[in-house]
Chains A and B, each alone.
Chain A
Amino acid sequence: MIRLQDVTKVYDGGVVAAQGVNLEIEKGEFVFLVGPSGSGKSTLIRLLLREELPTGGDLWVAGKHVNRLPAWKVPLLRRAVGTVFQDFKLLPSKTVYENVAFALEVIGRPRHVVRQQVPQVLRLVGLAAKADRLPRQLSGGEQQRVSIARAFVNRPLILFADEPTGNLDPGTSVGIMRLLDRINRTGTTVVMATHDHAIVDAMRRRVVALERGAVVRDQSRGVYEAVLPFPEGRDEEEAE
Chain B
Amino acid sequence: MRFQYLLTQTVQGIRRNPLVVASAVVAVLVTLVLVFGSIVVRWSIDQDIGRWDDNVRVIAWLGDVSPDQVFAMQREIAEWPEVDEVVYFSKSQALEEFRELFADQPALIDVVQDDPSVLPQSLRIKPTEVGNYADIQNRVAVYPGVQQATAAGEEIDALVVRSNRMRTFAVGVFIVLGTAALVLIANTVRMAVYARRDEIAIMRLVGAGNWFIRVPFLLEGLVEGVTGAALAALIVGLGHKPIVQMLSTVADPDAIVVPVQFLLQQSLLVLTFGAVTGLLGSALGMWGTLRD
| Residues on A facing B (Cβ under 8 Å) | 49, 71-72, 74-80, 82-83, 89, 91, 102-103, 105-108, 110-111, 150, 154
- Decide: A79 and B292 in contact? CB cutoff 8 A: no
- Decide: A105 and B1 in contact? CB cutoff 8 A: yes
- Decide: A102 and B210 in contact? CB cutoff 8 A: no
Interface string of B182-213 (1 = CB under 8 A from A): 00000000000000001101111111111011
Query: Residues of A contacting B292 with CB < 8 Å?
Result: 71-72, 74
- Decide: B207 and A111 in contact? CB cutoff 8 A: no
Interface of B, secondary structure class, is helix
Nearest chain A residue, comparing its CB with the CB of B211: A72
State the CA gap A106–B212 with chains docked (Å).
7
- Decide: A78 and B2 in contact? CB cutoff 8 A: no
A78: contacting residue among B1, B198, B205, B213, CB under 8 A: B205
- Decide: B202 and A107 in contact? CB cutoff 8 A: no
| Residues on B facing A (Cβ under 8 Å) | 1-2, 5, 198-199, 201-210, 212-213, 292
Nearest chain B residue, comparing its CB with the CB of A77: B207
- Decide: B209 and A75 in contact? CB cutoff 8 A: yes
B197 CB, nearest partner CB in chain A, Å: 11
B206: contacting residue among A71, A72, A111, A150, CB under 8 A: A150
State the CA gap A193–B110 with chains docked (Å).
113
Nearest chain B residue, comparing its CB with the CB of A49: B205
Query: Residues of B contacting A72 with CB < 8 Å?
Result: 209-210, 292
A96 CB, nearest partner CB in chain B, Å: 14
- Decide: A107 and B208 in contact? CB cutoff 8 A: yes
- Decide: B207 and A78 in contact? CB cutoff 8 A: yes
Nearest chain B residue, comparing its CB with the CB of A85: B205
- Decide: B204 and A108 in contact? CB cutoff 8 A: no
- Decide: B206 and A106 in contact? CB cutoff 8 A: yes
Given A74-B292, A91-B198, A91-B199, A107-B205 contact (CB < 8 Å): no
B5: contacting residue among A77, A79, A91, A105, CB under 8 A: A105
Query: Residues of A contacting B203 with CB < 8 Å?
Result: 106
- Decide: A76 and B1 in contact? CB cutoff 8 A: no
Given A105-B1, A108-B2, A108-B212, A76-B207 contact (CB < 8 Å): yes
Query: Residues of B contacting A79 with CB < 8 Å?
Result: 206-207
